[in-house]
A and B are shown apart, each in its own frame.
Chain A
Amino acid sequence: MLFSSITFLFAFLPAILLVYYISPRKLKNTVLMIFSLFFYAWGEPIYVFIMMFSIIIGYVLGLVTDRYMKAGKKKHARAAVICAVSSNLLILIYFKYIGFFVENIMHIIGLKVPEIIIKLPFGIDFSVLSPALPLGISFYTFQILSYSVDVYRGTVKPQRNIISLAAYVTLFPQLIAGPIVRYETVCDELDNRRESIDDFGEGVKRFIVGLGKKVMIANVAGELYSTLSVLSANDNTVLLSWICSIAYTLQIYFDFSGYSDMAVGLGRMFGFHFLENFNYPYISKSITEFWRRWHISLSTWFRDYVYIPLGGNRNGKWKTIRNIFVVWLLTGFWHGAEWNFIIWGLYYFVLLMIEKNGLLKKLEKAPKLIQHIYALFFINIGWVIFSYDNMSSLKHAFANMFGMGGLPFINQKTLFYLVTYGMFLIIACVGTTPLPKKIGEAVIRENGKTKATLGTLAQLLFLFAVLMISTAFLASDAFNPFLYFRF
């Protein structure tokens, strides 16, 4: 179930809010867990059991790790945590990457991938060598991993109540598309939280803004991208292939950050405070800065659970480079079991290394405009790599963009797309900057009684309009994809 769906907005959400708020304090986590399991099972009626299995492993081995730590048996504790981490990693590797590995190995050997199908009851086929990817597995596995490691490190106390732990892992706002909420961020709130009308109101604002970003901007940009990316050579031009890549760049930002906004907002409606996941990544002046602003929960996860455990930058230049390489290889691969994601990760490794070794210092002396153009250019190229999992279409797309595809620069169709989507593209570009937020804050700033009332009115009207138009898009069966099915 997508947050951006009629079913979520007008069936699931009212139901869980009602049940949650009439339930006694003791049962609130149970309510969250049951509704979250239902939310997950709605899209993954079978795989919900794999998630439950992962939670049980994390729970039991978390307690075991803690007991050994307290008894001073560090080696035993280490064994327990390794057991927890490796079993969850194995589940992730099997469901997400087995198909990719088998296919590539077979390709090298020159054999066909054998089809091994297990027939499950109710006519469900399970393909052993290329299983379907469970929704959100990369997100919840990373959350359980961080919990196991943090218990071992002693930075968090183990959760003794399995329902609280299950409520944390399955918490529907962040379950299928992030952000990756660390256990330490919410452990206090899991057992002692106070919902308030202020939090709820703030949550509603974030949720509506996120919904609008996803439905009114990301989906429209996505539809434009999907039209332009399959344009025949007769219609395509150099300019259109650039517009196509920009449409994707806009789609993925508004989709992903819109989802994170909705997650943060929904969390607050239930009294949770998640960390921010995006911080206007497209206003970055370098790639280094971009990765401090984009999908923050993922980059900090890799920093804390891969880069630093590998030794970080403390063991000399070459080991540091190796560690950074590993992080970016894994970051790329985390986004999907395809070569283009690996290339995309390594592309950023190369860019970041170049910046680290002098380019960043030189850039800082350049005019700001040049810095922005530089960063956006490489971010946009990165998304082109990201968007094509087929190598020959990727090559084709680049050839078209850089004038080697034998296409004209511009034609009548290009002008048509510029005229019909020009205003939308401008609005979307402005939407990636903090400008709309600043304007909004200026309008609702409270100074003097009449102005404050007008500000409130303006804010309510704005939220109502976004909610209504988003509902209209959803009720019209407009283009509404889910981009994270590979993650």
Chain B
Amino acid sequence: MRNKLITALFIVYILIFAVGSLVARDRVFSDMENRNLTQFPIVNAKAVLNGTFSEQFEKYMSDQIIAKDFLVKLKVTENLALGEKYINGVYFGKADMLIQEYDNSYNQLSKNLGYVNEFVNANPDLDCSWMIVPNACYIYSDRMPPYAECYNQGEVIGYIIANVSQDIKIVDCSKALMEHKSEYLYYKTDHHWTMHGAYIGYSVLCDALKISPTPEEDYDIELGSDSFYGTQYSNAPTFTQSPDDILLYNNPNGSYKVDYYDKDITMYSLYNMDNLEIKDKYTTYLDGNHPFIKITSNSSNKEKLLVIKDSYAHSLLPLLADNYSEIYVVDLRYYHQSVSELAKSLDISKVLFINNLEFLSTDDNFLWLN
């Protein structure tokens, strides 16, 4: 009797997955994992004989299995239940924090530093500042799992200050963030900072640029979403993870226009509210990644600003928009033309770099700067 039941269980189990995966329509993209899924591979004699067909087919099978999202969660939950605290590059910290790992080898960082120095030296007329933002593993070090180590980002900032050109002003907001470290500065499930974290960065930046920040209480703070699961969650999803809030800071006196040149779109808001409905809700801020955009506001300051940034800037620039009537924003990952020429043609004299340390230590697109 027992063996009959066991046989039945097994047969039904493999048939459900076999038939289910066969019948279910193939997915192109996994929202949860935030990546493209393998499609049915091309069959030809060469691919079969050199083994690439079977290799691709096995990837296709495991990518297109039914209930894949559930299975991925089950796996990570099992790891977690056995006490693992570091899964797929994600630390499972206290208070439900999924903290991005940071392991600096100074290799890429020193290259990037060289590119920035070269840019500054080649453009002596430009007034350059560089805002450096530490990551959650540094500011929230007391939320890291027991004994987990993260390379000391204070040391890395010291290295940057010691090696950077004299002609660029470093804006280090780590001290201010540290003072607020019990607050909601970084997302639990995403590698970015929250808009509140960005506000603290913004006030430090305003001090350095000698402009006056909008007081935090002057904003209407709107809860855009309370169900944001970010990139860290995509890397290590579980059944038990609580989601994040997306906060939108609205200045009742501001009016804005954003030109997204790559898509030829103009929006009259700093936030793309449609993106609150998709998986990656962080793209609500300035519509996520674009090579080159222009933010125009009703600010009384007519000085033009050129910003060269990574995605940490997306939640900071909506605040800075109240201090500059024209901000041009370049993302070197996608903008591969001369930045000096751009500054010249736009008649710009003020340049601001905004980077988080993890990006600065790993990204290899700074070479496009020169």
Contacts and interface: CB of A to CB of B under 8 A. Distances in A.
A11 B6 contact: no
A17 B13 CA distance: 14
A474 interface: yes
Interface in B11-63: 11, 13-15, 17-18, 21, 45-46, 48-51, 54, 57-58, 61-62
Contacts of A201: 2-7
A406 interface: no
A460 interface: yes
A471 interface: yes
A122 interface: yes
B68 A475 contact: yes
Nearest to A467: B13
Contacts of A469: 74-75, 78
A5 B6 contact: no
Given A6-B65, A469-B78, A419 B147 contact: yes
A424 interface: yes
B72 interface: yes
B149 A475 contact: no
Interface string B71-84: 11011101100111
Contacts of A476: 71-72, 75-76
A447 interface: no
A402 interface: no
Interface string A29-53: 0000000000000110110000000
B23 to A, nearest CB: 12
Interface residues of A, number: 56
A162 interface: no
B10 interface: yes
Contacts of A198: 3
Contacts of B18: 10-11, 14
B61 A204 contact: no
A17 B7 CA distance: 12
Contact of B72 (A17, A124, A427, A472): A472
A350 interface: no
Task: Tell me if B's interface is mostly helix, strand, loop or mixed.
Answer: helix
Given A124-B49, A197-B7, A205-B6, A423 B83 contact: yes
Interface string B329-363: 00000000000000000000000000000000000
B49 A472 contact: no
A456 B46 CA distance: 50
B221 interface: no
A373 interface: no
A72 interface: no
Interface string A450-484: 00000010011001100111011111111000000
Contacts of B6: 201, 204-205, 459-460, 463
Chain B, interface residues (CB within 8 Å), range: 35 or more
A288 B23 CA distance: 54
B133 to A, nearest CB: 26
A475 B75 contact: yes
B85 interface: yes
B71 A472 contact: yes
A422 interface: yes
Interface in A108-147: 122-124
B148 interface: yes
B146 interface: yes
Interface in A1-33: 1, 5-7, 9-11, 13-14, 17
A220 B80 CA distance: 13
Nearest to A415: B147
B75 A478 contact: yes
B3 A471 contact: no
A192 interface: no
A456 B5 contact: yes
Interface in A395-436: 412-413, 415-416, 419-424, 427
B86 interface: yes
Nearest to A201: B3
Interface string B269-297: 00000000000000000000000000000
B122 interface: no
B86 A420 contact: yes
A472 B74 contact: yes
A197 B71 CA distance: 30
A14 B7 contact: no
A355 interface: no
A208 interface: yes
B84 A14 contact: no
Nearest to B54: A42
B59 to A, nearest CB: 8
Nearest to B51: A45
B9 interface: yes
A417 to B, nearest CB: 9
Contacts of A43: 51, 54
Given A14-B18, A204-B6, A464-B9, A474 B62 contact: yes
B72 A423 contact: no
A202 interface: yes
A63 B22 CA distance: 46
Contact of B84 (A420, A427, A460, A477): A420
8 contacts: A14-B15, A45-B51, A205-B6, A207-B10, A416-B85, A419-B145, A460-B9, A475-B65
Interface of B: 1-7, 9-11, 13-15, 17-18, 21, 45-46, 48-51, 54, 57-58, 61-62, 65, 68, 71-72, 74-76, 78-79, 82-86, 145-149
Cβ-closest 3 pairs across A and B: A201-B3, A416-B147, A472-B74
Given A10-B17, A208-B10, 12 more contacts: A46-B49, A124-B49, A198-B3, A200-B3, A412-B147, A444-B2, A456-B1, A460-B6, A464-B9, A471-B17, A472-B72, A472-B74
